[in-house]
Amino acid sequence: MDMNVETAKSPGETREFQAEVKKILDIVINSLYTEREIFLRELISNSADALERYRHQSLTDAGVDPELPLEIKIVVDKDAKTLTITDTGIGMDRGELETNLGTIAHSGTKTFLTQLTDGTKDVNLIGQFGVGFYAAFMVAGKVRVSSRSFRQDDTGHVWESDGGGAYTISAASGLPRGTSIVLELKEDAAEFADPERIKRIIKQYSSFVPFPILVDGEAVNTVQALWTKSKSEISDEEYTEFYKFVGNAFDEPLLRLHFDTDAPLAIKALLFVPKDNFEKYGLGRTEPGVNLYCQRVLIEQHSKTILPEWLRFLKGVIDSEDLPLNISRQALQDSSLVRKINSVVTKRFLKHLEETAKNTPETYETFWGDFGYFLKEGVVSDFGHRESLGKLLRFESSTTEPGKLTSLADYLGRMKIAQKEIYYIHGSNREAIEAGPYIEAFRKRNLEVIYTMDPIDDFVMGHLAEFEGKKLVSADRGDIELPELDEDMQDKQQPEAEQELDKTQTTDLAAWMKGVLGDRVKEVKESKRLEGSPAMIVNPDAHMTSSMERVMRAAGRQADLPISAKDLEINARHPLIKGLATLRQTDEFFARTVAEQILDNAMVQAGLLIEPRNMVERTYRILERAVSGSKGSAIPRDQKPE
Ligand code: ADP
């Protein structure tokens, strides 16, 4: 024992544990074999609590041994297979030993017992239920606690138990202030009689305990609780060093956010965005990287609940500092508290992103390029932050240069007076979108269209639904209502040289095409907006875009269902459509082939999958016909086509 004071104890008094404690001990001793190393976190955390409480007390009342340094000493005896954890904290008098280590006052115990017995056996929760001390019995056959309260009138006591039904308690003398716990390790827990192992466990769980932890005299927790210091005291190097530690990283962070709030909760947070997004590289799903601390004691490493799932790329620490130590564990069971912290920190981080976008746009663009995907996931999965996330989205559009991005706010700034909605269209790339039929009418009216080129984008737009009161509308929607061309633009249009089919001719042709195409289309109708293309697919369903449908089919959902029926719009001014109206009278059989091909081409342009075999065969038939049609215009043999 690392106490250079002679101790003596009187014969002990034996007492029964409370029934709940017996139950817990029974489970701890007989059925918990994994993650046993957490016993050390629990004991260190108790010591840290005790030291913190002593520090608090000593402000008004120095107590015994005021000159003792506030620290935690661990001594490992390899031969004797013992582990001794000593702190100079507040200590316990006889009554406290009995109450604290023999009974359980916390209401969470029942819940913990159910948790442990219902098969999950998540021993990690032991601390959260206020019974962390008993974790010692996972590794120790016998536990001896010597403690002396800081109060002047206490002389000290020794508490001893083998985790069976009872413990003994006896008076001792010569004890310094604080608590010393000796664990006599079980045969199968001899691994913990190894200073290196102990140091590793401390580094993993207790690095930021604000008191020195010494293992066989050597300080182990050299990393400070950086997040509790004020920003002005921390250098960039220190931040980076901390990031490397907490994020298990080797690079420098891309962004960092260090903040402190007092209301509605006292939170200190230090968060980092790494340089690389490994999930993007296809290296599997990123696991959450933010640790939850309470008063610098680790509560949950890589917490899954303290931030939304879509912020799983963040590394760092959230410490809810204001919670009084003795209620912290219990308060944490109250998930509404965790939800509140979650919401406060998420909001603050999104605000930080907005500021970054404003102040250092290049940095934000880099961030967006690598991590924008997560924000899109947030829009789709997290209603609560949708509005703030909407401001952070970036897309190419018909107005941006290729590769350059715009925000929705900037789009709003460029909207035409008569324009009521924000338009977007999906395509696999910019060229495909611009060559396709969907943006013709928008181009003619000088209306900006956002290009959604990521498969998830249309879901993002669908969930966002509107931005600053303006609806987001996919350009492949059937019922789209475009603003009238203003005088100015109309003047610029070329006089329409081409004659279009008249109303009856168009209606007739449309009805005939519907007959030919059958269930493959819901309706065939005249287009009000096509310019250069003969036809296009539009969606009668306002909530589903063609791109969304394709993604869902690719993901295996609805894969066995036929593509939901779309409308086909035809351009009555286009030579192909006019020609088709005539061909129908002279060669209906071939006209049917052409009608089918028009539909397939429109499907391809909509990004919808079609069965290539029929289409290829049909194209050959059409080409054959084209070739035989040009028989008369004899091409000289030596003149090769381009
Ligand atoms: P919790 O720490 O969550 O309350 P534990 O079972 O770990 O639950 O500990 C029970 C109580 O025993 C603590 O609340 C504390 O009052 C007391 N205690 C445990 N370890 C120490 C220690 N090293 N110094 C002073 N008091 C302690």
pLDDT single digits (tens) 375-430? 999 999 999 999 999 999 999 999 999 999 999 999 999 999 889 999 999 999 99
Return the pLDDT at 2.
Answer: 44
Residue 343 identity: S
Whether the ω angle into residue 308 lies within 30 degrees of 0, i.e. cis, is no
Name which of 3-17, 252-266, 353-367 the model is least confident about: 3-17
Query: If you take atom 6 of ligand 1, which residue's CA is the nearest one?
Result: 131
Cβ atoms of 537 and 567 closer than 8 Å: yes
Higher pLDDT, 380 or 610: 380
Considering only CA atoms, give the Rg of the chain.
36
The rounded Å distance from CA 434 to ligand 1 centre is 68
Question: Does the pLDDT at position 4 exceed 60?
Answer: no
Distances, alpha carbon 559 to alpha carbons 567, 609, 614, in Å: 20, 11, 19
The reply to whether ligand 1 has any atom less than 6 angstroms from the CB of 439 is: no
Question: Does the pLDDT at position 564 exceed 80?
Answer: no
Token duo for residue 365: 């663009």
Question: Does the pLDDT at position 638 exceed 50?
Answer: no
Average pLDDT rounded to a whole number, residues 332-346: 81
Question: Does the pLDDT at position 555 exceed 80?
Answer: no
The reply to whether ligand 1 has any atom less than 6 angstroms from the CB of 100 is: yes
Return the pLDDT at 541.
Answer: 77
Grade residue 57 by pLDDT with cuts at 50, 70 and 90. Answer: confident
The reply to whether ligand 1 has any atom less than 6 angstroms from the CB of 89 is: yes
The rounded Å distance from CA 584 to ligand 1 centre is 90
Return the pLDDT at 557.
Answer: 63
Q: Dump pLDDT digits (tens) for 305-317.
A: 899 999 999 999 9
Cβ atoms of 125 and 112 closer than 8 Å: yes
pTM score: 0.67
Query: If you take atom 27 of ligand 1, which residue's CA is the nearest one?
Result: 46
The reply to whether ligand 1 has any atom less than 6 angstroms from the CB of 179 is: yes
Return the pLDDT at 107.
Answer: 59
Q: Dump pLDDT digits (tens) for 59-105.
A: 777 788 888 999 999 999 999 999 999 999 999 999 999 999 998 86
Closest Cα partner for 44 from 208, 227, 218? 208
The rounded Å distance from CA 44 to ligand 1 centre is 10
The reply to whether ligand 1 has any atom less than 6 angstroms from the CB of 158 is: no
The rounded Å distance from CA 139 to ligand 1 centre is 18
Return the pLDDT at 562.
Answer: 59
The reply to whether ligand 1 has any atom less than 6 angstroms from the CB of 108 is: no
Name which of 37-51, 333-347, 352-366 the model is least confident about: 333-347
Q: How far is CA 437 from the centre of its chain?
A: 37
Q: Dump pLDDT digits (tens) for 104-161.
A: 866 566 666 776 666 555 666 666 566 789 889 999 999 999 999 999 999 999 999 9
Return the pLDDT at 463.
Answer: 95
Higher pLDDT, 124 or 593: 593
Question: Does the pLDDT at position 554 exceed 90?
Answer: no
Q: How far apart are CA 143 and CA 146, in angstroms?
A: 10
The reply to whether ligand 1 has any atom less than 6 angstroms from the CB of 85 is: no
Query: If you take atom 4 of ligand 1, which residue's CA is the nearest one?
Result: 130
Return the pLDDT at 642.
Answer: 39
The reply to whether ligand 1 has any atom less than 6 angstroms from the CB of 130 is: yes
Query: Is the CA virtual torsion 112, 116, 120, 126 positive or negative?
Result: positive
Tell me the domains of the chain and their CATH numbers.
Answer: 6-219 (3.30.565.10), 226-359 (3.30.230.80), 393-494 (3.40.50.11260), 501-628 (1.20.120.790)
Best substitution site from 21, 38, 46 to test ligand 1's pocket, by max atoms within 8 Å of Cβ?
Answer: 46
Return the pLDDT at 599.
Answer: 95
Mean residue pLDDT across the chain: 86
Query: If you take atom 16 of ligand 1, which residue's CA is the nearest one?
Result: 100
Strands 289-294 and 157-161, how do they pair?
unpaired
Grade residue 633 by pLDDT with cuts at 50, 70 and 90. Answer: very low
Q: Dump pLDDT digits (tens) for 248-288.
A: 777 899 999 999 998 888 999 999 999 988 787 766 788 89
Question: Does the pLDDT at position 165 exceed 70?
Answer: yes
Name which of 172-176, 291-295, 496-500, 530-534 the model is least confident about: 496-500
Return the pLDDT at 559.
Answer: 55
Query: If you take atom 18 of ligand 1, which residue's CA is the nearest one?
Result: 46
Q: Dump pLDDT digits (tens) for 423-478.
A: 999 999 999 999 999 999 999 999 999 999 998 999 999 999 999 999 999 999 98
The rounded Å distance from CA 50 to ligand 1 centre is 8
Question: Does the pLDDT at position 292 exceed 90?
Answer: no
Query: If you take atom 12 of ligand 1, which residue's CA is the nearest one?
Result: 100
Tell me the DSSP string of 473-517.
EETTBTT--PPPPPHHHHHHSPP--SPPP-HHHHHHHHHHHHHHH
Distances, alpha carbon 617 to alpha carbons 513, 588, 596, 614, in Å: 20, 19, 12, 5
Return the pLDDT at 636.
Answer: 40
The reply to whether ligand 1 has any atom less than 6 angstroms from the CB of 50 is: yes
Grade residue 641 by pLDDT with cuts at 50, 70 and 90. Answer: very low
Q: How far apart are CA 550 and CA 432, in angstroms?
A: 16
CB atoms < 10 A from the CB of 278, how many? Answer: 12
Return the pLDDT at 640.
Answer: 41
CB atoms < 10 A from the CB of 403, how many? Answer: 7
Question: Does the pLDDT at position 3 exceed 50?
Answer: no
The reply to whether ligand 1 has any atom less than 6 angstroms from the CB of 47 is: yes
The reply to whether ligand 1 has any atom less than 6 angstroms from the CB of 52 is: no
Best substitution site from 24, 100, 175 to test ligand 1's pocket, by max atoms within 8 Å of Cβ?
Answer: 100
Return the pLDDT at 325.
Answer: 45
The reply to whether ligand 1 has any atom less than 6 angstroms from the CB of 92 is: yes
Average pLDDT rounded to a whole number, residues 508-530: 94
The reply to whether ligand 1 has any atom less than 6 angstroms from the CB of 90 is: yes
Closest Cα partner for 371 from 486, 233, 278, 248? 278
Query: If you take atom 1 of ligand 1, which residue's CA is the nearest one?
Result: 130
Question: Does the pLDDT at position 627 exceed 70?
Answer: yes
Question: Does the pLDDT at position 326 exceed 50?
Answer: no
The reply to whether ligand 1 has any atom less than 6 angstroms from the CB of 131 is: yes
